Amino acid sequence: MIDVEKIGEVVKFRMARTLFGKSLYFTAAYWVDGLLVDTGCSHTMGEFVNAVGDLPITRIVNTHSHEDHVAANAALSAKHGAEVLAHAAALPILADPGRNKLRPYQLVMWGHPNASSASVVGESLETDRYRFKVIWTPGHSPDHICLYEPCAGWLFCGDSYVGGKDKSLRLDYNIWKIIESLKTLSLLDSSILFPGSGTVRNNPKEDLLEKIEYLEETGSRVLDLRAQGWSRRRIRRELFGPEMSIAYYTLGHFSGQNLVRSYIEDFPGSRKGDLILDT
């Protein structure tokens, strides 16, 4: 399924694979002034290309190389003659998506994207009417970037900001880098936040600071309990309770255990060999 909404000059495409009448996981793409930010997943590619229709597209920018953000790159680039741009670290993955073997839940929700050719995005990006700053925001992925248009106050943040109070984390995320990236975004004078989930936010600074506060307070509690000799499993039970259902249908790829692990192992200056002896 796909929903299309116009927000000022920006067109939002919010989409998800539907299975047994239920939308599994929403992701979003945004169009403005010939620029398309992200292109969704393989399962929604045909519907998305049709929904874009004859909107002019001169450039496509991927916020990162995850399979739910890049699948229609090749199709839209071929149809519109658009250049695809991304962080340098994303380019090998876009060219050969098979190098990242997807897990069963990823195949069900999003599917494998087609290969696409891309060039390295610079520090800024201009359309006819707007000039975007490109901001590197690692943590969710090493190749994650955001686009900021200071005059309009727009911040296209991909998955660097996800709402809610996290109780789980994907195995390859880095929670401390996520926090640092959120801090970078919180310093911007933005008036509207366009996240990869499609849930647009009208109070970006407030939302970003609230998220930072929660993540930092949680990290402090994790490290305090660890210093008292608590195991990671015990810390997870104390702070987050039982594992959420996501831990089971992702076979542990997303879990509270991973969140605790990242707080401990990825803490700047930590000695990982001293921290991974137990679970």
Instruction: Per residue of the chain (279 residues), give pLDDT as tens.
Output: 999 999 999 999 999 988 777 777 899 999 999 999 999 999 999 999 999 999 999 999 999 999 999 999 999 999 999 999 999 999 999 999 988 889 999 999 999 999 999 999 999 999 999 999 999 999 999 999 999 999 999 999 999 999 999 999 999 999 999 999 999 999 999 999 999 999 999 999 999 999 999 999 999 999 999 999 999 999 999 999 999 999 999 999 999 999 999 999 999 976 554 444 455
pLDDT (0 to 100) of residue 278? 58
Tokens standing for residue 102: 């997807």
Using CA atoms, how far apart are residues 105 and 186, in angstroms rounded to an integer?
Answer: 32
Residue 238 lies inside a defined structural domain of this protein: no
Sign of CA dihedral 162, 167, 172, 174: positive
Residue 36 has a pLDDT of 98
- Who's near 100: CB < 8 A, 6+ residues apart? 65, 67, 93
Residue 235 lies inside a defined structural domain of this protein: no
pLDDT at 20: 74
**How many distinct structural domains can be found in the chain?**
1
In a domain, 208, yes or no: yes
- Let me know if residue 117 belongs to a domain: yes
pLDDT of residue 19: 77
Residues contacting 95, CB < 8 A, separation 6+: 115, 116, 117, 118
Does any domain span residue 49? yes
Residue 83 lies in a domain: yes
pLDDT at site 274 = 46
Domain of 145, in residue numbers: 2-162+185-213
For 103-118, letters b (16+ CB in 10 Å) and e give eebbeebbbbbeebeb
Nearest by Cα to 144 from 129, 128, 131, 157: 157
How many angstroms from the chain centroid is the CA of residue 116?
A: 19
Q: Is residue 252 part of a domain?
A: no
40, part of any domain: yes
What CATH number is associated with residue 35? Answer: 3.60.15.10
Displacement of CA 114 from its chain's centroid (Å): 19
Which residues, at least 6 apart from 156, have a Cβ–Cβ distance to it below 8 Å?
A: 30, 37, 63, 132, 146, 147, 148, 194
CB within 8 A of 80, min separation 6: which ones?
56, 57, 58
Q: Name 180's Cβ contacts closer than 8 Å, sequence gap at least 6.
A: 139
